[in-house]
Structure 1
Amino acid sequence: MEGEESIPKPMIAAATVPLHASSGTHHVYAYIGSPPQRQTLIVDTGSRLMAFPCQPCRSCGKHVSSYYDPSFSTTDKRPTCGACLLDGVSKCSEFNDRCVISQKYTEGSSWNAYEVEDMVWLGSDEQEESFEDYMKLAVPYPFGCQTSEKGLFRKQYADGILGLAIHETSLVSVLHDVGSIGRNAFAMCLTRHGGTLSIGGIAHPSRLLEPMKFSP
């Protein structure tokens, strides 16, 4: 195909995972911890943090998945004051020696959380398939373990959010830094009912119906 020849192989994504659509948003399945706990996350190119409710959140809404429980994971780490991983976002809570985060969004939603680092990878809605096809992209990654939600975050179908904005601490940047993907890039194909998220480049040209449009 002419399109295949015009796109260098290094630009082809290391992995392409499915997106799903519900209530006007697109979301991806993320697997957190060891053993993995699945979370459904809205993909957001306007923010850079990943966050979702954690046990025992008494001020969070009811979502599609069970709350992530860090005590069930053998690979979780909970940074303490002086060792916060999300510089410029986290601040120290002297009350419990945690790195805490508060985020507000322009439409009025907000959440509070504390930092946790655990193994993270993106996959499909089939856990066995995700193990086989996507666990190669697992990486230790810090996120917000939510202790409260307000507004749309409390009411939404998805469990949380995956920020994909350009930043050195974004999941895509971290995957690139550790050598899991060849390019610090991602691409999304959105349809009314779902789509795909390509990590490390663009989807294989055979999947493209029209020429790819790039954003710097």
Structure 2
Amino acid sequence: MASSSMRRKLAPSCDATRFAYILLLFFCRLQCCSTAGGAPQPPRSGFVLPLLHRTSLPPPYTRRYTSPLSKLDFFAEAKSLDQARILSIAASLSRSSKDVLVSSSSTSFNALYASNASNGYSSRVRSGASAGAGQYFVQFAIGSPPQKFMLIADTGSDLVWVRCSICKRRCRDGGAVRAGPPLPPTFLARASSTYRPVPCLSQSCLLVPAPPSFSCNLRIPSTCRYDYTYADASESSGVFSMETISLNPASTSYPPASQNFTAINSQEVKDFAFGCGLRNAGQSFVGSDGVLGMGRGMISFVQQVGSIVGNKFSYCLVDFFSTPSLNSLLIVGDPPMPIKLLSTVQSTPLIQNSFAPSFYYVNVLDVAVNGKILPVPSSVWELDAVGNGGTVLDTGTTLTTFVEPAYQMILNAISEEFPYPKVDPLQTFDLCFNATGLISLSSLPTLSITFEQGAVFSPPASNIFIDIPGGLKCLSLQGVQGPFAFTVLGNLIQQNFHMEFDLDSSMLRFASTQCSGSFR
């Protein structure tokens, strides 16, 4: 470690055994030192936390995150955000020093990025972190005494970071020096008795990417610096640190459905690793105070907290249009009602992509419309030797994206099976119908996705077709193609499913349910 070339962003040539040892030490520290008071936890316990959609944020975040005026406006904005996020994920998956090119079959998609690439869009690869479009938010309490912030819940990145100030008297905010504390909301490290920066030469410092051309000072002790640059040029940089965080349940009105479940009323997690974000700028963070990384990496929120209550987390997303007064739920640990008690529970392995270890992958075997399996080549669903392709579960995108030619096959099959007249597609969608007079959703075509081990994901029609004023129904899917294209199952198609990610067994369990009432 006594070398000026020491960087905390690990190079590909870094010794794998040494890095594995570092991760083991970090994991052991979490297991031994993270619970307050060191008391052993009950066999089944967990936290149920509100997961707020960006359309239902409380003040002052509602003023900082403008909601669209109509449903059509909302989905037009959502599609734009999805495309930016998919671009970012494609960039991180490619691990290339060249520009990444992904193109879509959608006319509006191509037009949006026409200035960047012919028939598609491109972006420079900047980091493995994904662009936070800010679809779902979690309230996060950090410090002693706790300071509360609203963070983007991001299943595509690992680092947890909060806008932060470590100054004592004169503070720097946005590059300008001003007297007194920085503008809120900002974590004030000086106001917490438990804040501790990670030393630059610490082994834990190897877990975060370092700023360009930065190395540790071998003579004078210095702090661990990190730098995340997102694909849309958004950036967070600051000090990698340790703190105490406070976890609280969503509400005492959610009684456990199992006598073996222990709802933890309040819990402190000591020595929680996070980024104290000193400089944060860009569209990725609009309306938030930071990012809650929920990926598969060792420094993610779910890995650090999951080691206390069992390495699993789950969520249940409500329909944010039909039930705007109810929040979705994020469950860390065991849920109040074990998912195995739901009659429709199915499971499939979570697949690890060594080129993009933060993301949650599943293996798709086939797709079917109205029970008819489409002749999609198996290679369309596969991860290749350098980590491209595959299928990602992502709450940060709204619409589901299928790789070509699967998307066009799905589009054609649904068009043939739809019992209502087709209309000219709106700019946001590729396929719309005049469904005036529709009595039951059961008459609409069904879409099912078969995963490895035979699990079948069959979303209801309300997750596939969007109601548009004027009696229209539009298909809430989009397509992409290109050398780095991949399939993304977005949050809309996951609504009213309990999605459980068991990290110990590397399994995804899911079951159809009513998320507005499952744990209430």
Same fold per superposition (TM over 0.5) = yes
- Deviations along 1:63-107, one digit per CA (max 9) or x if unpaired, are x95200011111111122212534231545549812111112233
Q: Which residue is equivalent to 1:67?
A: 186
Does structure 2 conserve the Cα–Cα contact (< 8 Å) formed by 1:79 and 1:99? yes
Q: 1:20 deviation in Å?
A: 1.2
Q: Which residue is equivalent to 1:166?
A: 296
Does structure 2 conserve the Cα–Cα contact (< 8 Å) formed by 1:57 and 1:146? no
Does structure 2 conserve the Cα–Cα contact (< 8 Å) formed by 1:121 and 1:134? no
- Deviations along 1:110-165, one digit per CA (max 9) or x if unpaired, are 21111121101333689xxxxx95432533211111111221145x1110100010
- Deviations along 1:14-55, one digit per CA (max 9) or x if unpaired, are 111111122562111111011000011110000000011112
Q: Alignment partner of 2:226: what SS?
A: strand
Picking from 136, 143, 148, the partner of 2:279 is 148
Q: Relative contact order (alpha carbons < 8 A, sep ≥ 6): 1 or 2 greater?
A: 1
Q: Alignment partner of 2:193: what SS?
A: coil
Q: Return 5+ residue gaps in structure 1 as ranges.
A: 1-9, 127-131
In structure 2, C-alpha distance between the alignment counterparts of 1:19 and 1:160, rounded to whole Å: 15
Picking from 293, 308, 313, the partner of 1:186 is 313
1:46-125 equivalences under 5 Å are 46-55=156-165, 56-59=171-174, 66-83=185-202, 85-91=204-210, 92-94=215-217, 97-123=222-248
Report the AA paired with residue 151 of structure 2. Answer: L
In structure 1, C-alpha distance between the alignment counterparts of 2:135 and 2:248, rounded to whole Å: 18
Picking from 15, 27, 33, the partner of 2:143 is 33
Cα distance 1:97–1:13, how it changes in 2: closer, same or farther (>3 A)?
Answer: same
Q: Alignment partner of 1:97: what SS?
A: coil
Q: Alignment partner of 1:87: what SS?
A: helix
1:16 counterpart = 2:48: yes
> Following TM superposition, where does structure 1 have runs of at least 4 consecutive aligned residues deviating by more than 6 angstroms?
none
Q: What TM-score comes out, normalization by structure 1 length? A: 0.75
In terms of fraction of residues, the more strand-rich structure is: 1
Q: Which residue is equivalent to 1:139?
A: 270
Identity across matched positions, percent: 23
Does structure 2 conserve the Cα–Cα contact (< 8 Å) formed by 1:79 and 1:85? yes
Larger radius of gyration: 2
Does structure 2 conserve the Cα–Cα contact (< 8 Å) formed by 1:51 and 1:145? yes
In structure 2, C-alpha distance between the alignment counterparts of 1:141 and 1:213, rounded to whole Å: 25
Q: Which residue is equivalent to 1:197?
A: 330
Cα distance 1:171–1:125, how it changes in 2: closer, same or farther (>3 A)?
Answer: same
Cα distance 1:112–1:202, how it changes in 2: closer, same or farther (>3 A)?
Answer: same
Cα distance 1:86–1:45, how it changes in 2: closer, same or farther (>3 A)?
Answer: farther
Q: Return 5+ residue gaps in structure 2 as ranges.
A: 1-42, 55-64, 66-133, 166-170, 176-182, 252-262, 346-497, 502-506, 508-520
In structure 1, C-alpha distance between the alignment counterparts of 2:245 and 2:275, rounded to whole Å: 13
Stretch moving more, 156-165 or 145-154: 145-154
Report the AA paired with residue 190 of structure 2. Answer: S
Number of corresponding residues: 195
Report the AA paired with residue 240 of structure 2. Answer: E
